Structure 1
Amino acid sequence: MGRGVIAVDRVVAFVLGVGLVAAGAGGLGWRFDLIPDAPERLRFSWLADATRTAWWPWATGAAGVLLVLIGLIWLIRHFRSRGVRRLQLAGSDHTGLLTADAKAAATAAGDRLTQTAGVRSSSGRMVSDRGQLVAELNLTIEPTADLGTVQAAAEQTSHDLHRIVGRDDLHHRVQLHVARHEKTPARVR
């Protein structure tokens, strides 16, 4: 998601949250007679009159279509893939375009990290996160893994990936997940 979508989500969530809290507090206050001069019933005579007019079905239909469009736009903006498939490499100009398979580069970096002692498995991918190109490496490590060794290997692999891709705007994110149990080797009888 982009920054604009995140900002709109937060503002809408805040406004809806405050509105729901206020409505809930008002409802409780009304129920337990904490609001002075509150009527026993709410009556909206204009609403009954409005529903009998000729324009009411058209207005409710238009409101429904508008809500469906807003909902579809919201879904599309939230489920856009952040993955980067191709990277434009240094040396590209008007005579030609040099590209690399971003997923293959990140996967190779992850595979290299599985050769490190204490790393059980890994995966890698390139994403666009808030307008920045990020290489994400996810590692599952053994509970007894030496974090210093894993950190040194992750830093070296990130440095190598940065050098191979040749993009100064490439950022790195390495996430460590600790396995619940030590991997036991299979027994042969």
Structure 2
Amino acid sequence: MTAASAARRTARGNRWGLVLAGVVLVALAVPALAAGRGLLGQGAAAEELDAVGAAGAWLPYAVLAAAVVVGLLALRWIFVQGRTGAVRRLVVDPESRSGTTEMPAGAARSAFEEAVGEYAGVRRARLRMTASARAPHVRLDLTVDEDADVPALWRRVRAEALEDLRSALDLDGLPAVVRMSMVPPPKNPRRTLA
């Protein structure tokens, strides 16, 4: 499953979840509102409470339990939205006859960020690997100086860093998205204006 199809599936699940939650809330709210406003006849709400009687002593606890369950499901839903799809382990040389070799994605990420971080004009390099352990995709965020030679930097990242990473992971291809943002050069705190 690609990252794009996983994102579409998550978005579709979110839409259906929101629709289902809305339908349930409306289905519960409309009769309660109608009974409270007396649209179901005068005293309909009081008759319901009398019908429940002593057996309804557990009703507040059931409502509380249902609210806690709904709250926990909502929290899980929120936490699922924060998933990045980042790959934690990478499979190196998947066609080896001696078995599968894995490495932590963090090791490859750190080496890559350190190498690119030393390029002239680069302030910060952040790499994220997504998709799968056997065929990762790369998302690289570079913060570069305002006066950096962006085309030359892009060529170097593509020809050296991404090619080295692709080669180290023994991949035929390595899909990559590179985003560059610029920052002004650092101010000299010792320099004073006359």
Please indicate the TM-score interval, normalised by the length of the shorter structure. 0.5 to 0.7
Q: Which of 43, 48, 51 is the matching residue for 1:50? A: 48
Q: Percent identity?
A: 24
SS in 1 for 2:67: helix
C-alpha distance in structure 2 between counterparts of 1:113 and 1:9, whole Å: 37
Matched, 1:160 2:155: no
Query: 3-state DSSP class of the match of 1:117?
Result: coil
Superposed displacement of residue 72, structure 1 = 4.4
CA contact (8 A) 1:127 1:134 kept: yes
The within-5 A match list for 1:65-80 is 65-80=68-83
2:12 aligned with 1:7, yes or no?
yes
The alignment's TM-score, normalised by the length of structure 2, stands at 0.64
What's 1:140 paired with?
A: 143
Alignment correspondent of 1:176: 180
Contact 1:137/1:174, CA 8 A, preserved across alignment: yes
- TM superposition score normalised by structure 1: 0.65
Q: Distance in 2 between matches of 1:66 and 1:46?
A: 29
Q: Measure the CA separation in 1 of the matches of 2:67 and 2:97.
A: 49
C-alpha displacement of 1:140: 0.7
Q: Which runs of 5+ in 1 are unaligned?
A: 18-40
Correspondence for 1:118: 121
1:161 and 1:12, CA in 2 relative to 1: closer, same or farther beyond 3 A?
A: same
Q: Give the number of equivalent residue pairs.
A: 167
Whether the 8 Å contact between 1:88 and 1:97 is mirrored in structure 2 is yes
Residues 10 and 150 of structure 1, relative CA distance in 2, 3 Å threshold: farther
Q: CA separation in 2, counterparts of 1:176 and 1:144?
A: 13
Q: Give the aligned CA root-mean-square deviation in angstroms.
A: 3.9
Structure 2: state its 5+ residue gaps. 23-35
**1:2-52 Cα deviation digits (max 9, x unpaired):** 4333222234457889xxxxxxxxxxxxxxxxxxxxxxx933554444345
- Contact 1:102-1:125 at 8 Å conserved across structures: no
Partner Cα separation in structure 2 for residue 151 and residue 186 of structure 1:
31
Shift of 1:87: 0.8
